[in-house]
Amino acid sequence: MGFDFGLKRIGVAIGQTITRTASPETVVNSRDGVPDWAHITQLFEHWKPVAIVVGLPMHLDGTEQPFTQSARKFGQRLHGRYQCPLFFIEEQLSSHEAEQRLKSRAHPNTQLDAHAAQIILENWLSHYDKTES
C-alpha cells in the first residue's frame, strides 16, 4: 500500500509485486495534520497489505525539505499501528506528474493525491527485488 502524505489529504494506492503495478485507491482526509486513522484502518483491514511505502518529499537536488520529516513521522506511525514492513522512497513532483496524467480527463483534480500515491508506489515497485518477499 502506497501513501502520498499531505497535511490535508493523503493519497493511497494499492499495488502488487508480481506485475509491479499500482492503482489509485482513495484519498484520506487529515484535520490539522492528523490523519483519519479510522479510514486508514478500514483500508488496512480490507486490503491486508504486506508492506507500506511512503513517499518522502525532497527538493529537486535530493536534499530534505521541512515537510520530509512529517512524511517520515507518518510512515513510522503507520508501521507502529499496522506492523507491516515500512519502505520510504524519495519523491519529487509526483503530484505534478499525476496532474499531467489527469489533465486530459473530464475531472482533472479527481483523486489527484491517490494518483500521486500510485506514482510513488509504481516507482518503488519498479525497484522492488522479488527475492525480498
pLDDT tens-digit readout, 77-127: 999 999 999 999 988 655 555 555 555 555 444 577 888 899 899 999 988
Q: How far is CA 45 from CA 40, 48, 109, in A?
A: 9, 6, 27
- Res 52 pLDDT > 90: yes
Give the count of beta carbons closer than 10 Å to the beta carbon of residue 6. 22
The percentage of residues in the chain with a pLDDT greater than 90, rounded to a whole number, is 57
In the chain, where are the structural domains located?
2-132
Give the count of beta carbons closer than 10 Å to the beta carbon of residue 56. 20
- Res 130 pLDDT > 80: no
- What pLDDT was estimated at residue 64? 87
Task: Please report the sign of the dihedral spanned by the C-alpha atoms of residue 76, residue 81, residue 84, residue 90.
Answer: negative
Domain covering 2-132 in this structure, CATH number = 3.30.420.140
- What pLDDT was estimated at residue 131? 41
Global pTM reads 0.83
